Every structure is written in structure tokens, then in C-alpha cells.
């Protein structure tokens, strides 16, 4: 049973990271025009502060979970031990 826990944790990181990044990239975000001045930018995005923070959290958390997933796959595959790599 203890050997199953790292595999389940790696799978959870992969699924949750993919879901977080999928939500981040699939939800459209209203952007101001490219030639907007600083005051127009501030006014246009004032009502979206919480959404901007949530988007940033989704991007950071999803990316971190994907990195943990890939590192766990490398570790579970035994590729961290140079004596087990094929020649």
C-alpha cells in the first residue's frame, strides 16, 4: 500500500494541474485596446481585480503541479538512478 501513494499523488498532481491550466486558458478575459493609455487601462481593469488574481493563481498553481507531475514521473520511472538507465 505505501508504494501506491506516490503514484496516486503524481496522478493527482497531473490531473489537477491540467485542469487548472485548462480553466486558465479556456476562460476569456476582457482586454483593453492595445493603444490604451494608463488611465484607460486602470479604469478598464478596475472591476476585474479578483478575477486577475484568480487567473494568476490558476496559472502559477497549474504550472507548479505540472512540474511536480513530470518530476514524479521521472522518479517513478527510475530515471534518476544512472545505474538503471539503458545503454
Residue 63 per-residue DSSP state: H
What is the tally of structural domains in the chain?
1
Q: Which residue has the higher pLDDT, 83 or 77?
A: 77
pLDDT tens by residue, 3-59:
789 899 999 999 999 999 999 999 887 778 889 899 988 888 888 888 889 999 999
- How far CA 22 is from CA of 27, 39, 43, in Å, comes to 9, 32, 28
* Average pLDDT value for residue range 61-83: 89
- Residue 71 confidence (pLDDT) above 80: yes
Range of the domain at 26: 4-84
What's the pTM value of the predicted model, to 2 decimals?
0.78
Question: What pLDDT does residue 27 have?
Answer: 85
- Name the region of 10 (left: φ>0; alpha: ψ -120 to 50; beta: rest): alpha
What is the structure's pLDDT at 12? 95
Amino acid at each position: 500500500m505505501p508504494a501506491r501513494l506516490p503514484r496516486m499523488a503524481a496522478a493527482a498532481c497531473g490531473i489537477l494541474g491540467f485542469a487548472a491550466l485548462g480553466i486558465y486558458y479556456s476562460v476569456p478575459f476582457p482586454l483593453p485596446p492595445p493603444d490604451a493609455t494608463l488611465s484607460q487601462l486602470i479604469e478598464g481593469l478596475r472591476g476585474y481585480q479578483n478575477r486577475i488574481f484568480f487567473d494568476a493563481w490558476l496559472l502559477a498553481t497549474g504550472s507548479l503541479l505540472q512540474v511536480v507531475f513530470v518530476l514524479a514521473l521521472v522518479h517513478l520511472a527510475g530515471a534518476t538512478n544512472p545505474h538503471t538507465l539503458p545503454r
